[in-house]
Structure 1
Amino acid sequence: MTRGIVIAAPYSGSGKTTVTLSLMRALSRQFRVVPFKIGPDYIDPSYHQAAAKNEPHNLDLYLLGEENLKKMFFQSVRKDEIAIVEGVMGLFDGLGTESWASTAHVAKILKLPVILVVDVRSMSTSAAALVHGFQTYDPELQMVGVICNLTSSKTHYNHVKESIERDCNLPVIGHLPFKKFLDLPERQLGLIPAWHITDIDKWLDHCADFLLKNVNLNQIIDLMKPLEKVDINSSLQVKLPPSETIRIGIANDGAFHFYYSDGLEAFRSAGAELVFFSPLNDKFLPEGLDGIILGGGFPEKFALKLSYNQSMRKSIRSAIENGLPTYAECGGMMYLTQEIENYTHRFYPMVGIFPVKAIMGKRLQHFGYVEAKVTRNNILAPDGVVLHGHEFHYSELVGSQLNSSYQVKKPTGGKTWESGFVYKNCLASYVHLHFYAYPELISSFLNHCRQWRKNHSYIIS
């Protein structure tokens, strides 16, 4: 039977990621687990993939829209699989003050039950009051159980469990006593991606074993609800290009790895062959490419190595100068500047397509959801199209005025700023997009790639 459940919390830092990863790894020993993350986060899904040993998926209502979100979810989970969905921030925290796009909102759209992870440090009966508030705030939400995190002793846990079960009539499924080894490593931009951590499998197995000692796994399975499919509007289908193969180079290494798996799969479905390469380690672009995508990541952390790889920088610059369709997001855009200044104020030469420097700062320049209106035709979209995306970056571009094709603002309004910088057939922006929601953008990009292939013979140099 195909089942699913959402792991949520009252606020960020309550322990929902630790519980989610431990649960995914424990369940993956018996079932095929399909991992999901609510929100635009790239880092948590890297841990999900390691824990579940399965492709992760992002469920973001703002980036996808409701119909695409439902379609993605139900297409991703097959018979006899278990869907584990990790929430974002606090259970009811969304866009604005009405809980829109929150964990609770997505759980209701997908008709999934919710387990609440509660940090019970320095609490006893007060934990019941907290749970009761979350339980009754939205009567339409199916809250089915509680896991207590950071208990100080068995006696402490028993007091909390008794209070919650008595006053909220909810089962307390178990607890995670405080253990230092459960802490996830962090840095300035949040958690370190899973692939940068040595012995990640050993750590995940340790977490799963610890969870199994303290949490009733069979009870969690029993609380999972069989997935109830919902109607999906088929009118969202967009006719994509013919199935001829278009070769797209995808930068993928420690410096560039922020991609939504469903977005890449949408490129494949549209007829693209994805060819992964490493700007850090490869000397040249792969042969025979019809386009390039440079995703986000942490180029500032690898600036020295990226700079030393002069042959790759030259290869990419030559391709863009020759008109090869190229799309770059955030870190990928930083790589295309003249140079990057890191946190120690050292400058490192980059590809040099855009006559600006990417300067790392100590404060976030832009953070959160954005709306980008296309103000100039580019390789993705024509003038007038409005795109939903998000930004999260500490860097800013300093230097010459660039040719922009986006006017960007917060969804709630306020000031606007320029992005979507254009040079020949290259489009670069701080705005992250979820391509699963925009088959028409994929179609446009592949059409540009197809046209370029007809008109050029690209030789790696």
Structure 2
Amino acid sequence: MPASLLTCPRILVAGLGGGSGKTIVSLGLARAFTEQGLTVQAFKKGPDYIDAKWLGLASRSITSNLDPFLLSSEVLRNLFWSRAQGVDLALLEGNRGLYDGKDVLGTCSSADLAKSLQCPVIIVADCTKVTRTMAAILLGLTTFDPEVDIRGVILNRTAGGRHQKILRQSIEKYTDVQVLGVLPKLPENPIPERHMGLISDAEFSHDPFSELANFLRTHADLDACLNIARQVPAVTLDLAPLYPCSGKSVPVRIGVARDAALWFYYQENFEALQHAGAELVEFSLLADPELPDVDAVYMGGGFPETLADGLTTNAAMRQSVKERVLGGMPLYAECGGLMYLSRELHYEGATYPMADVFPLETKVFKKPQGHGYMSALVASPNPFYPLKNRLTGHEFHYSRCVDTSGIESFVFDVELGQGMAKGHDGVLYRNCLAGYTHMHALGNSLWARNFVSAARIYKECRDAGRPCPDIRLE
């Protein structure tokens, strides 16, 4: 495909660190511009599912995650521009501090992403107990890497008129950074938090977005923000298809467990399966009595611990899942899905029976048991990845497998990350693979094709009345 000249108004909202208020500002901006009649496409830097879901609700778009570790620079740019074409504003929310990456060079930082996409940056700064020093901080940010285009700052959690006046005057005197907004302290967080960050929208009935949009309209200059987004260069890029074209094989049906218990999924994973030849059928582990008529199942992550009572109560679904797995149906599970497929889940002093596919017990702790990027080598034959293939992903779990003595071997040798046991992740029974690793299909291009191929083998065996074999890639 010949190179194209691509353009789209765009801004990246970054912070000085985690908890600076960039998510609240991003949500408010997304809804405010959407209510103005603009088409806003939201993006989340990093692997975060929860912030991405909230951004999608605020912007009324499906948010894509842009992660320089999970995706190559070519794929990342392709993904961004494929989503950004034809919209009025691409709004990117960064993660952690602007220059925070996975090493001393800031690799995979929000700043790196901004440079890769030639995207101007708006800083959200927590001004609690700070005045003139904020000017020095902003001066340091702008000189630390002159290639990062920092265009403005929104001052957050300011205390009152005098505090706001000194902040604004200091920044205007000592820096060239435009003050785009001065936000007073909110009496309470409009979106409550718990372990793993903001709570799920499925567990929160109040719609906070119009309130946040009004908050930003009142205390920030939205026209100035939009003007910055529009002052961006066009980009010349060979825009390639995100997914390879599939053949004309008979389509298969893949069930997706999607409800308040399990909902951590990347949209691109769904699209990769569909392009490989799958029809996706959503079902609920909480509400449905059994699995639908499908040829395979995909279980993502989520909060099975907070919905554990409902998962246990639905014994018919747990039995249905176990019986299908015993019959050779392919099933791929990540994190929360692993917890569901285990024998028991321990949470806040209670024990909940799960699907009992694997001889494992998981327990939820007060602190994270695994948090960060993951890299692993495929060490055992399985239906989804060839041997010696390198799997890239991430993990964020408060649960841990408290006893893995019943597991004879693991599928993945972990090079980076924690996994299920020291140096290992991924368990396999028949054609069911489960582990703590979350992966992105655009960074693991063989996954969707192999998943669909395994589902097709199962479908052909079932249609012919034959037992399904254990499917193993070499």
TM tier, shorter chain? over 0.9
Residue 334 of structure 1 and its aligned partner are, at CA, apart by 0.8
Distance 2:233 2:289 in 1: 48
Give the stretch that moved more between structures: 229-238 or 207-216: 229-238
- Alignment of structure 1 residues 111-260 onto 2, 5 Å: 111-200=118-207, 203-224=208-229, 225-226=231-232, 228-232=234-238, 234=240, 238=244, 240-242=246-248, 244-260=250-266
- Alignment of structure 1 residues 58-69 onto 2, 5 Å: 58-69=65-76
In the other structure, the counterpart of 1:372 is 376
Contact kept, 8 Å, 2:82 with 2:239, in 1: the verdict is no
- Cα 1:187–1:231 shift into 2, 3 Å: same
Distance 1:430 1:230 in 2: 38
Counterpart check, 1:361 vs 2:370: no
In the other structure, the counterpart of 2:471 is none
Secondary structure (helix, strand or coil) at the match of 1:62 reads: coil
Contact kept, 8 Å, 2:31 with 2:210, in 1: the verdict is yes
- Cα 1:420–1:19 shift into 2, 3 Å: same
Residue 239 of structure 1 and its aligned partner are, at CA, apart by 5.5
Distance 1:8 1:311 in 2: 46
What is the identity percentage for the equivalent residue pairs of Structure 1 and Structure 2? 35
Contact kept, 8 Å, 1:243 with 1:270, in 2: the verdict is no
In the other structure, the counterpart of 2:110 is 103
- Cα 1:375–1:457 shift into 2, 3 Å: same
Q: For this pair of structures, how many residues does the alignment match?
A: 453
Which structure 2 segments of 5+ residues have no match? 1-6, 466-474
- Alignment of structure 1 residues 316-335 onto 2, 5 Å: 316-335=321-340
Contact kept, 8 Å, 1:70 with 1:230, in 2: the verdict is no
Distance 1:324 1:214 in 2: 55
- Alignment of structure 1 residues 427-446 onto 2, 5 Å: 427-446=433-452
Residue 80 of structure 1 and its aligned partner are, at CA, apart by 3.8
**Residue-by-residue CA offset, 1:62-98 (whole Å, 9 max, x unaligned):** 0112111111110011214211000000000011111
Give the one of 290, 300, 312 matched to 2:305: 300
Kindly report the root-mean-square deviation, in angstroms, between the aligned alpha carbons of the 2 structures: 2.0
Which structure 1 segments of 5+ residues have no match? none
Distance 2:247 2:378 in 1: 22
Q: TM-score, normalised by structure 2?
A: 0.92
Contact kept, 8 Å, 2:142 with 2:150, in 1: the verdict is yes
Residue 268 of structure 1 and its aligned partner are, at CA, apart by 1.7
Distance 1:367 1:255 in 2: 20
Secondary structure (helix, strand or coil) at the match of 1:377 reads: coil
Distance 1:181 1:435 in 2: 38
Distance 1:117 1:362 in 2: 29
Residue 228 of structure 1 and its aligned partner are, at CA, apart by 2.9
Specify the code of the residue in structure 1 equivalent to 2:214: D
**Residue-by-residue CA offset, 1:19-71 (whole Å, 9 max, x unaligned):** 00000000001201111100011110111011111111100110112111111
Contact kept, 8 Å, 1:243 with 1:271, in 2: the verdict is yes
Specify the code of the residue in structure 1 equivalent to 2:198: L
Distance 1:188 1:227 in 2: 40
Specify the code of the residue in structure 2 equivalent to 1:384: K
Specify the code of the residue in structure 1 equivalent to 2:302: G
Residue 157 of structure 1 and its aligned partner are, at CA, apart by 1.4
Give the stretch that moved more between structures: 239-248 or 169-178: 239-248
Secondary structure (helix, strand or coil) at the match of 2:16 reads: coil
Give the stretch that moved more between structures: 222-231 or 33-42: 222-231
Distance 2:182 2:442 in 1: 37
Give the one of 371, 381, 387 matched to 2:385: 381
Q: TM-score, normalised by structure 1?
A: 0.94
Give the stretch that moved more between structures: 219-228 or 446-455: 219-228
